[in-house]
Copies of this chain bind each other. A is one copy, B any other.
């Protein structure tokens, strides 16, 4: 028979079991933390009606969308978790309690050109807090405390959550009479990290901005100091504009509240250059960087938006949210060897029976499982060496050998596969668990 070459579409992450275990641990840490802060789970479909999913979209995004027809139905795969959330909240408005706190961890699809670190099928891990008509600004400070908790849980200490407020930038542009070109200017400013001050000045000249306005912008993005100093300088910059002043006031409040939420001073800072390219955000914006690996970009971003679901409902639904691009993050952490795994295997114990009658080995496995220990029995008829090799390859931390002798003496040998240490232990679940969880 002709064989088809078993292969996976380029740009899709498909992991070996040992990597998958690591990936799932990170995913689980994120989910546990989201739950610990009281977010509700959602699981909206991957497949949506194009008319609904693309109610807003256009331009760049639309080209990347996996869109097709089945029968007469025009369908698309979701490209983020925000649009499905909008649809969901508009659809189920009457059945939700506000502020509506939801998390969703799921795959999204983008028909990108495959390249390193770019994926066509990727996990996003989102939380959002949606208000009905209004949402108190205190929520903008809760999210950084969640980011901090997750990153600490994942073993990171040296990271910075950068905070800014879009109103400051918008107000500044209005004040400069550049409201129409705000998007263009933002896009240029956003590149300061990558291309530096001079290149930005040049690009601003290219789009025809007068010299004195460019100087004002540069003066603005060059504001330095710690978070409090920056806010102070913003206050005395002399920008007479209502939106600008509201933005500075909000930023001041968010910083105050972030401290209230107990976020360490070294884990956040005001950064006036971050803008989050999108049109979407209207207040607080966040980006998060591993300080030693700024080149991998923001690993957790988001912000405040005025109105979640304007394409589906007249209800005003302001919100604030963050998203972690888990697939890309995992790829990068793995490349940099930065994943601190707690657990390398699923099974905690492999039982190796050395006897034909499996009654006792199975009974032992059942009792260990009942006590919460993940236990596997090696059931295939192989040589002992092969059985140990299996435990070794799967990095199962403990092996229990059980044969006639062991059953008669009611005592087994537990081997610690990492140290090679062996210990005789009575066949009693409590005794065995003590040994197995000793690590």
- Chain A residues within CB distance 8 Å of chain B: 1, 3-9, 12, 14-17, 20-21, 23-24, 35-49, 51-52, 55, 66, 68-71, 73, 75, 77, 86-88, 90-92, 95-97, 99, 101-102, 107, 109, 111, 120-121, 131, 135-136, 138-139, 142, 145, 149, 257, 260-262, 309-314, 346-347, 350, 358-359, 362-363, 366, 369, 374-377, 379-381, 390, 393-394, 396
Can you sample 19 A-B contacts with CB below 8 Å? A4-B312, A5-B52, A8-B45, A9-B49, A14-B45, A21-B40, A21-B41, A24-B43, A35-B374, A36-B369, A37-B376, A38-B375, A38-B396, A46-B46, A47-B121, A70-B111, A138-B380, A260-B358, A260-B359
User: Which residue of B71, B86, B97 contacts A111 across the interface (Cβ within 8 Å)?
Assistant: B71
Copies in the complex: 2
Chain B residues with CB under 8 Å of A88's CB are 6, 14
| Alpha-carbon distance between A77 and B309 when the two chains are bound, in angstroms | 29
Given contacts A91-B8, A260-B362, A312-B6, contact A20 B49 (CB under 8 A): no
Given contacts A66-B47, A109-B47, contact A20 B8 (CB under 8 A): no
Chain B's nearest CB lies how many Å from the CB of A277?
Answer: 23
Chain B residues with CB under 8 Å of A49's CB are 7-9
Chain B residues with CB under 8 Å of A111's CB are 70-71
Chain B's nearest CB lies how many Å from the CB of A240?
Answer: 30
4 more contacts with CB within 8 A, not counting A5-B52, A8-B52, are A7-B87, A8-B44, A14-B45, A16-B96
User: Which residue of B5, B23, B369 contacts A43 across the interface (Cβ within 8 Å)?
Assistant: B23
Chain B residues with CB under 8 Å of A121's CB are 45-47
User: Which residue of B40, B138, B358, B380 contacts A358 across the interface (Cβ within 8 Å)?
Assistant: B138
User: Which residue of B5, B52, B139, B396 contacts A4 across the interface (Cβ within 8 Å)?
Assistant: B52
Chain B's nearest CB lies how many Å from the CB of A383?
Answer: 14
Q: Do residues A9 and B48 form an inter-chain contact, with CB atoms below 8 A?
A: yes
Q: Do residues B380 and A99 form an inter-chain contact, with CB atoms below 8 A?
A: yes
Chain B residues with CB under 8 Å of A43's CB are 14-15, 20, 23-24
Q: Do residues B380 and A136 form an inter-chain contact, with CB atoms below 8 A?
A: yes
Q: Do residues B394 and A97 form an inter-chain contact, with CB atoms below 8 A?
A: yes
User: Which residue of B24, B96, B310, B347 contacts A41 across the interface (Cβ within 8 Å)?
Assistant: B24
Given contacts A44-B14, A142-B379, contact A346 B35 (CB under 8 A): yes
Chain B residues with CB under 8 Å of A41's CB are 17, 20-21, 24, 346
| Alpha-carbon distance between A91 and B106 when the two chains are bound, in angstroms | 25
